[in-house]
Amino acid sequence: MPFLDDSLIIPVANSSIITSSIEPSNPQVGDMWNELDNDNNLIQQWNYLTVENNPRWVSQLYYHSWQITTGASNTVYLINPDFDIFVKQYYIHIFTVNQTIISGEFYNRRLSLGSQGGGNIELLANAEFNSLNANSHEFLETPVNFLITGTKYRGVNTQQFKNLINTNVITNKVAYSAISTVPTFTYLLVRK
């Protein structure tokens, strides 16, 4: 069974659309909640869906793109500790300038759950390019489908590891200063 049935995002028969500042007390799977602040401004739209066999409020799909990164730079995205995060997809758009990646060489960019100081907990996605012509670009999409919870992961308190890190892994055969990437991932917020 998939983590999330996307078809349930569309309201189903007998579902309700609730608009309030207070979380609905008896929601049914398929309900939609427009969460308002105290001034009646929309904060977030939630869908009540089954997540790992438990009904929970799930947000719409978000996209996070880092700025264009060159070389072996690490980039960090801080996770909001008020929510669990479901990472859905990982995308890499790669550009080369006067650099060819030939057979036996590779350029690799990873999406990992870990701390800013190092010590990755989990590799979430791996984007590897084995062949690329000079002065070209390519796009790679990798499914992730991973739920990051705000409690413990493999016995480690995840409050200490509250970010996603995007790191490069390369061979010494590739001049990484001539390669730029735009790493992107999609995610949903899941209310605890």
Mean pLDDT in consecutive groups of 10 residues from the start of the chain, 192 residues = 46 77 93 93 92 88 82 72 87 80 74 65 80 82 85 51 62 66 89 86
| Contact status, residue 164 vs residue 113, Cβ threshold 8 Å | yes
**In total, how many domains does the chain have?**
2
Instruction: Please indicate, yes or no, whether residues 166 and 130 belong to a single structural domain of this protein.
Output: yes
The predicted structure's pLDDT at residue 112: 82
Cβ neighbours of 160 (radius 10 Å): 10
| Claim to verify: residue 85 and residue 100 sit in the same structural domain | yes
* Single-letter amino acid code for the residue at 178: A
- Establish if 1 belongs to a structural domain: no
Q: What is the pTM of this model?
A: 0.76
Which domain, by its residues, includes 125? Answer: 62-191
Distances, alpha carbon 93 to alpha carbons 123, 137, 140, 143, in Å? 19, 7, 7, 15
Which of 59, 83, 98 terminates a domain? The answer is 59
Same domain, 29 and 71: no
Which pLDDT belongs to residue 130?
77
CA dist 28 and 49 (Å) reads 8
